[in-house]
Amino acid sequence: MANSIKTIGVIGAGQMGNGIAHVCALAGFDVRLNDLSVDRINAGLATINGNMARQVAKGAIEEDVRQAALDRIVPAATYDDLRPCDIVIEAATENEEVKRKIFQSVCPSVRPETILASNTSSISITRLAASTDRPERFIGIHFMNPVPVMQLVELIRGIATEDPTFEAARELVEKLGKTVTVAEDFPAFIVNRILLPMINEAIYVLYEGVGSVDSIDTAMRLGANHPMGPLQLADFIGLDTCLSVMQVLHDGLADTKYRPCPLLVKYVEAGWLGRKAKRGFYDYRGEKPIPTR
């Protein structure tokens, strides 16, 4: 089945969607990129262009490889434009309602044999699959951020996911040069079940005044040997995504230890969503990031 995957649809051209389109195109797949508007698709394409140019500058890829990969990514303004796709990977905002609506709307436009996948960080694959007409051809393919750099991809079966769907997803991920790990369909799977409570705790440490943004991040970089501090990482992930994941953990596991920190809620309400909004726990509007607390 995976051998027959030639064309990949990506819904959502934000940081994850454009990263997925980037690696798929570099691996030789044809890509169709969708978002809410042509402007957003074009913003995603511009990011891919810039990121691939950086890879050329670093000597990671040749200029002709970059050009060929860019040519393989075609904007898909409507779901009907996704019809040629053998698999469609959804990477839209981390909100179950948004994702369910996308899957309901996309089903009539794609072929019956097309596999549907979600890049969700936390939401039940079984529930998302139930909003489609093909739960047996539905799977979670959870890439890490930034997609071109990070090695791991979590694969998550829903209760109805059939073996050929799983094998097709595994072969696809391997063709992208990534390593698969398999997680069961529980809230936030493996990586985020462990990572997000740590980030949320770092925000509580900030909220309670135990340390400043700088002291918390320095402590975890130099004291726990993390490559970046938890607040810097939260900004990188996007604070709206962090909050959604904590809400899914809190609702899904019904344990108060997953209560989202009120300070995280406040930052999201302010629209301070991290790097993508140019402000989060750091302010990115100047030459170098300045801690906001």
Ligand X SMILES: NC(=O)c1ccc[n+]([C@@H]2O[C@H](COP(=O)([O-])OP(=O)(O)OC[C@H]3O[C@@H](n4cnc5c(N)ncnc54)[C@H](O)[C@@H]3O)[C@@H](O)[C@H]2O)c1
Annotated binding site, which residues? 12-17, 35, 94, 99, 121, 145, 276
With the C-alpha atoms ordered 236, 237, 238, 243, is the resulting torsion angle positive or negative?
negative
Q: Among residues 93, 136, 91, 147, which one has the least CA distance to residue 113?
A: 136
Residues 102-141, interacting with ligand X (CB under 6 A): 102, 119-121
Which one of the spans 81-89, 143-151, 161-169, 203-211 is the region binding ligand X (CB under 6 A)?
143-151
69 CB-near residues (< 8 Å, 6+ apart): 22, 25, 26, 52
Measured from the CB atom, the residue of 36 and 57 that comes closer to ligand X is 36
Measured from the CB atom, the residue of 135 and 238 that comes closer to ligand X is 238
Measured from the CB atom, the residue of 106 and 115 that comes closer to ligand X is 106
Look up residue 200 and give its two tokens. 């949320």
State yes or no: is 226 an active-site residue.
no
- E-strand ranges in 158-238 read 179-183
Q: Among residues 133, 72, 136, which one has the least CA distance to residue 106?
A: 133
Give yes or no for a contact between 180 and 173, defined as CB atoms under 8 angstroms apart: yes
Shortest spacing between CB 3 and ligand X, in angstroms: 27
Number of residues that bind ligand X (CB under 6 A): 28
- The angle that helices 63-71 and 15-26 make with each other, rounded to 10 degrees, is 110
Can residue 100 be called a binding residue for ligand X (CB under 6 A)?
Answer: no
Give yes or no for a contact between 8 and 30, defined as CB atoms under 8 angstroms apart: yes
Q: How far apart are alpha carbons 211 and 130 in whole angstroms?
A: 44
Q: How far apart are alpha carbons 103 and 116 in whole angstroms?
A: 8
Q: Draw the binding track, 8-47, toward ligand X (x: CB under 6 A; -: no contact).
A: ---xxxxxxx----------------xxx---x-------
Shortest spacing between CB 180 and ligand X, in angstroms: 15
Measured from the CB atom, the residue of 120 and 132 that comes closer to ligand X is 120
Can residue 241 be called a binding residue for ligand X (CB under 6 A)?
Answer: yes
Q: Draw the binding track, 261-290, toward ligand X (x: CB under 6 A; -: no contact).
A: ---------------x--------------
Binding residues for NAD(+): 12-17, 35, 94, 99, 121, 145, 276
- Give the chain's radius of gyration (CA, Å): 19
Active site residues: 121, 142, 154, 192
